[in-house]
A and B are shown apart, each in its own frame.
Chain A
């Protein structure tokens, strides 16, 4: 016997005698052990509605806006009329707390407790992120705002400070020496770090030995090496023990020590993402491991490797403490990294803002703004390159790959004919 329940019946009986129905159901189940009872759901009239899976409904949005307006008004009332409170920070904090309370009360009108907690926590998480990015925006904006007087003048980029005193106006002197110094130092650092960093990342990926694991641990620890210690290390070894003078080269080595672990770490992650079947295909075709790495692994990971190098540069370009200890300070332009002091942008900014003169401070902020521009530029480039996953080819690369394989095809089909003739 099968138990047939139409929706109407269930509704009717449950409303009258719920217990009786339940016991009936159990009895029915007892009698028909090997039959499955499928409750029938009421058929919805008309075509099915598409369900909204989005998390933010219109009601939620209204709650948020309402709570926001209410919090703002209440806080204004508190600050303006009721208490002698003042201060921007206090206003924001009080408004935020009131907003949370009002929002929780509004949500609790329609939802149960877990849902209220969920909504409030979501707001808290979003405001943590918002606070972080507000702080970042404030840092960037403040730097450009304070440097605005000097950053728009052409002499800032075309002159150095050798003939300009601290009391001279902003229409004289500039930071050309620091820009040149930064470019030279980063150039030299790249010569050191790119081959060494990528070779080391390849080593971490290709070697299965214990040493590789140890090197990885050490590299991870090195990413948090205090920058001043990298400077001290070069100061002790290169300048005090080996007896070289303070120069751009010494600073480049110190900066390289800071850049290396960053490049190795991110290149290591990128290389790990190269699909294993590409490696195996190459090995199955009989390629030795170095050819696999050179022709398959590295080209596949090219965009990621570029990103990792750019991230390393972005870090190295802003290092102040190692340069402070190893490069010395100068106000004149110096193209020779082997001799006499050389100054970089962050070091120039640091030295300039420590001066009591407002013009020097303005120059310092302009220097920091130029540095910030460089970092932002590097970041945008890294974003453009890093947007592509491993193995993704641009149009030109794909055309080149096609023509290469066509060439291979022609070579392979030609060879037997040549052997015959």
Chain B
């Protein structure tokens, strides 16, 4: 017995995927409009920072020219000779000192919290790191300016005496052999400002690194232990390679924060405008310190010059921060955390 089947009925019998649609109710549409507006508003604020800085900076940049602004190291706006070469170099030097001090400490702390510390201690340590990030910069500045300034002179002198042949540690005007040498050649230096900024950078780096380290797959950890690894062996072959993106990203985020630190630097340094690579030498500077010290004086043109400096700092931190988030999101660990 044969039955003829009409092709059209078969077509109708096979289930076709239903068209899914999502018509939002009136309330939902209002809700989405509201939250989208808040998102866009935040976006506008961020862009606004750049735009307003640029608007106010055109005056000064137009008069002096961008190239001269980038290469001049003096800041004598009244005489038309001003530029950010010196302040940018000092800003970068302070940040580099800060980051190179902060990296080992923050990495050690992050590894201690995730790998070594027993469970009951862990949440307390995490809270302490958060507290360190929340201590106001003026408090760090006071600590650096009034306590560290005196305590660090022996270290500076020691570095200068034994490592003075490295250009960074040379101090012009200091005689290590003279017992009567004044300590003032070592104070208010880039090095001290760097240490203070390191205190602020360290918790930021530590938070990023800790988050990444805590995402290391348990299977890989246990695999290393099952193969007979010690804890340090496990850290070296599993945790650190896994967290590489987080380490680089956290370091860069800390660098971004270090570049913009203002009040603590102002309280430690005495401003100078002649570029030197000697980080132990008295006097230093930074873009934000320049702004904080000069915002209240002078004509509209001088203010405009400050905005130009601010714009440069903005560009510098943006580049550093975006590079940082690129590293974090590109890493194996970041891909899963960035939903």
Which residues of A approach B to under 8 Å, CB–CB? 55, 86-90, 114-115, 117-118, 121-122, 124-129, 131-133, 135-136, 138-140, 142-143, 146, 195-196, 199-200, 202-204, 206-207, 211-212, 214-215, 217-222, 224-230, 232-233, 235-237, 240-241, 257, 260, 264, 272, 288-291, 293, 311, 314-315, 317-321, 324-325, 346, 349-350, 353-354, 361, 364-365, 368, 371-372, 375-376, 378-379, 383
How far, in angstroms, from A361 to B142 measured CA to CA in the complex? 10
A379 to chain B, nearest CB (A): 5
Which of A229, A260, A317 is within 8 Å of B314, CB to CB?
A229
B141 an interface residue at 8 Å Cβ cutoff?
yes
Known contacts A221-B325, A349-B142: does B134 contact A196 (CB below 8 Å)?
no
B132 touches A218 (CB 8 A): no
Q: Which stretch (B25-33, B75-83, B165-173, B185-193) binds chain A?
A: B25-33
B321 touches A224 (CB 8 A): yes
A118 touches B233 (CB 8 A): yes
How far, in angstroms, from A379 to B138 measured CA to CA in the complex? 18
How far, in angstroms, from A86 to B157 measured CA to CA in the complex? 12
A-B contacts, 30 listed (Cβ < 8 Å): A114-B233, A115-B230, A127-B108, A128-B104, A128-B105, A129-B112, A129-B125, A132-B129, A143-B139, A200-B39, A217-B322, A226-B288, A227-B137, A228-B262, A228-B292, A228-B310, A232-B306, A233-B52, A237-B48, A288-B25, A290-B27, A318-B134, A318-B136, A346-B136, A350-B267, A368-B136, A372-B135, A372-B136, A375-B136, A379-B127
On chain B, the residues within 8 Å of A215 by CB distance are: 39-40, 42-43
What residue of chain A has the Cβ atom nearest to residue B230's Cβ? A118
B109-147 CB mask vs A (1 if < 8 Å, else 0) is: 101110111000000010111111011111111110111
B318 an interface residue at 8 Å Cβ cutoff?
yes
What residue of chain A has the Cβ atom nearest to residue B102's Cβ? A132
Known contacts A232-B310, A235-B295, A318-B139: does B322 contact A221 (CB below 8 Å)?
yes
B202 an interface residue at 8 Å Cβ cutoff?
yes
On chain B, the residues within 8 Å of A207 by CB distance are: 32, 35-36, 39
On chain B, the residues within 8 Å of A368 by CB distance are: 136, 138-139, 142
A229 touches B31 (CB 8 A): no
16 extra A-B contacts, CB within 8 A, seeds A195-B38, A226-B260, A318-B136: A89-B155, A125-B112, A139-B143, A203-B36, A215-B40, A224-B321, A226-B259, A227-B260, A230-B49, A232-B53, A232-B307, A315-B134, A324-B263, A349-B139, A375-B131, A378-B134
B24 an interface residue at 8 Å Cβ cutoff?
yes
B112 touches A325 (CB 8 A): no
B226-250 CB mask vs A (1 if < 8 Å, else 0) is: 0000111101000000000000000
B263 touches A320 (CB 8 A): yes
What residue of chain B has the Cβ atom nearest to residue A88's Cβ? B151
On chain B, the residues within 8 Å of A290 by CB distance are: 27-28, 30-31
On chain B, the residues within 8 Å of A211 by CB distance are: 36, 39-40
A146 touches B39 (CB 8 A): no
What residue of chain A has the Cβ atom nearest to residue B196's Cβ? A139
Interface residue ranges of B59-85 to A (CB < 8 Å): none
Which of B31, B128, B140, B233 is within 8 Å of A139, CB to CB?
B140
Chain B interface helix/strand/loop/mixed: helix
B50 to chain A, nearest CB (A): 9
On chain A, the residues within 8 Å of B56 by CB distance are: 236, 240
On chain A, the residues within 8 Å of B138 by CB distance are: 318, 320, 346, 349-350, 368, 371
On chain B, the residues within 8 Å of A291 by CB distance are: 27
B331 to chain A, nearest CB (A): 15
A375 touches B135 (CB 8 A): yes
On chain A, the residues within 8 Å of B291 by CB distance are: 228, 232, 325
B142 touches A364 (CB 8 A): yes
How far, in angstroms, from A206 to B41 measured CA to CA in the complex? 17
B35 touches A203 (CB 8 A): yes
Chain A interface helix/strand/loop/mixed: helix
A212 touches B39 (CB 8 A): yes
On chain B, the residues within 8 Å of A364 by CB distance are: 142
How far, in angstroms, from A139 to B128 measured CA to CA in the complex? 13
Which of A124, A199, A350, A379 is within 8 Å of B35, CB to CB?
A199
B199 an interface residue at 8 Å Cβ cutoff?
yes
B31 to chain A, nearest CB (A): 4
Known contacts A128-B107, A196-B42, A379-B127: does B307 contact A350 (CB below 8 Å)?
no
How far, in angstroms, from A140 to B49 measured CA to CA in the complex? 34
How far, in angstroms, from A319 to B45 measured CA to CA in the complex? 18
B10 an interface residue at 8 Å Cβ cutoff?
no
A128 touches B109 (CB 8 A): yes
On chain B, the residues within 8 Å of A318 by CB distance are: 134-139
A370 to chain B, nearest CB (A): 11
B288 touches A260 (CB 8 A): no
What residue of chain B has the Cβ atom nearest to residue A218's Cβ? B46
How far, in angstroms, from A138 to B256 measured CA to CA in the complex? 25
On chain B, the residues within 8 Å of A139 by CB distance are: 135, 139-140, 143, 199
B21 to chain A, nearest CB (A): 15
On chain B, the residues within 8 Å of A122 by CB distance are: 116, 231-232
A221 touches B321 (CB 8 A): yes
B115 to chain A, nearest CB (A): 7
B163 an interface residue at 8 Å Cβ cutoff?
no
